[in-house]
Amino acid sequence: MEVVLVSCALIFLNGKVLCAQRSNTMNLSGFWEFPGGKVEKNESPEACLVREIKEELAISVCTRLALKSSEYSYSAGKLIRLLPFVCSWQSGEITLLEHQEVRWVSKENIKSLNWAPADIPIVDELFENWNKIQDQLINYIK
């Protein structure tokens, strides 16, 4: 089975996390996800994420801590291994270059979005550990 590594960013700001809705030009159009993309050959998941967020949203981020990965097979013979990282926003203004919409979402509303299946375990972990994750992020930034 082919394993495709994909990193995704959980970018926090003012107690909310950035969520992105996939556009009509993307597979799984209309589903919500944490932004990111495929890890290229000889690229670390962290470097991939910095590159992908710049390409998708035109902002710079810094990876701070890794969360538990999620695995999901959208098609036979291919497994997506989603590698989530909590990130801090470094610079830039969000510009939608691939997604149709982004939202800053609170813990109370995180489960109300129509999530891509691979992202659901990450949403569940985030929901269960929201305060702990934010506290760890604050400690990294200090």
> Residues near 105 by Cβ (< 8 Å), separated by ≥ 6?
16, 17, 18, 19, 113
Q: Residue 54 belongs to what H/E stretch?
A: helix 45-57
Return the number of other C-beta atoms located less than 10 Å from residue 33's C-beta: 22
User: Exposed/middle/buried for 112, CB within 10 Å: 0-12, 13-18, 19+?
Assistant: exposed
pTM: 0.93
pLDDT score recorded for residue 1 = 85
The predicted structure's pLDDT at residue 27: 87
Name the pLDDT band for 121 (thresholds 50, 70, 90). Answer: very high
Q: Is the pLDDT of residue 142 over 60?
A: no
The Cα-based distances of 100 to 19, 23, 29, 122 in angstroms read: 11, 5, 9, 21
Identity at 87, one-letter amino acid code: C
